[in-house]
Structure formats: structure tokens, C-alpha cells
Amino acid sequence: MLLGLLSSFDTFIFFVVALVIAITVHEFSHAWVATLMGDPTARLSGRLTLNPLSHLDPLGTIMLFLAGFGWGRPVPYNPNFVRSGKLGETVIALSGPLSNIVAAFIFALPARIYFIQTGVPAPETNLMRFLAIVVTINVLLAAFNLIPIPPLDGSKLLYLLMDKLSFGRVSWAAFERVGPMVLLALIFAERLFNINIIFRILEPVIFVINWVIGSGSPFL
């Protein structure tokens, strides 16, 4: 999915910069909201910063180029310090994808404004191509992390619902153990069966996010 963006050297550079921006915004938002929710763990760990070096995971970054998926360094938090219990943890988790949606909205504004004023798509300049890639990466990162499978952020919302419905902790603990394996199976299904299950799952989410940020055919 992401590998399709790497069609030329300049596109590759745009992709790398966009990826750094998206991961940094995502992880910083986790740290910032956790701090607001009363947990100092992220701040004391040096994660309350927009310095990309504090948030990039070397292996996760390499996997993005080799396999088309990857990850940043998870922001640590202590649930004992988080206000509002499970709800607070869910707010912290969802702050990451939400921050990517906000970033996509901001970076989509130039092309959106141009389209509104002229009625035609923005010209394919290097700047507009870069902005388009930044928007695309942020949208994909937000959508991917909203999948309700551990360890992705969306799983916290599922956990909150299970907690409200009085499901046992044992069930969730088992799901946390198998979640990463389920996620990997979905990711590699395309290679094994030529079926892009992940994209099929994300397609409606991506559509909604693009609608929310006002992006569409003129841009992505």
C-alpha cells in the first residue's frame, strides 16, 4: 500500500519526510494527552517532544520499506496515574490517530483552497506532490491505527466497550496475546493469497477520513 508511493527518487524523499512527520505527530500526541490526563511517564521518558529521533523505531522504520508496514516507538504510560481509568486510556490511545487526521486536514488545505477558488485540481508541482503524500501518509496511519486489534490504538476503544459490557479480563488478555499474530496474518495475506484484506478493512475508514478533511480526487 505504501510502497506504491515510491515511484521515483524525489517521491521517495517526500515519502520519508512525510513518514517522519506523521509518526512524530502521532507519538507526540500520545505523550501530550497522557500528560494532560495526569500521567508524567511520557514526559519523564523524554517523549513529550517533537524531536523525531525520540519517536522513530529503527526496526519499525526499516519494515516500512521492506514490507510496506511499520511502527514508531510506543509511548509509555502508567494506567495508575491516568485520570478516568479505562476511559482515560482510550482517550490517550485515540489521540494518536486523531492527531494524524488533524495533520492531514492542515496539509490538505492549500490544494483544497486552490480547488475552491479555481474549480480545478491543484497543479502537480513538487510542493503539491509533497503535500499530497503527507496527507496520504497521515490518513493511512490514522486509519490503520483505528483497527481494533492489539496493539493498535483502536483496540483500546474495543477494550473500553468490553469493560463496559463486563467481559472478563482473561478474555482481553488472551486477545492481547493473539492480536499481533492476527494483525501480521492480515498484513501478509496479500503476499500469500493475493488478497489485500487490510486495505479492504481500511477502505471505508479512509473514505470517511478523506471526507472529513475535505480531500478527494483533486488531491489524493
Report the catalytic residues. 27
Nearest to 213 by CA among 119, 130, 117, 132: 132
Buried b / exposed e across 191-203, counting CB within 10 Å, b at 16+?
Answer: eeeeebebeebbe
The C-alpha angle 37, 149, 145, rounded to 5 degrees, equals: 60
Q: Could you tell me the three cell numbers for 194? A: 493475493
Beta strands (DSSP E) in the chain are none
The CA distance from 5 to 62, in Å, is 16
Q: Is 48 exposed, middle or buried (0-12, 13-18, 19+ CB in 10 A)?
A: middle
Residue 93 in contact with residue 150, Cβ under 8 Å?
A: no
Q: Are 183 and 109 in contact (CB under 8 A)?
A: no
Asked whether 145 and 152 are in contact (CB, 8 A), the reply is yes
CA 134 and chain centroid, separation: 12
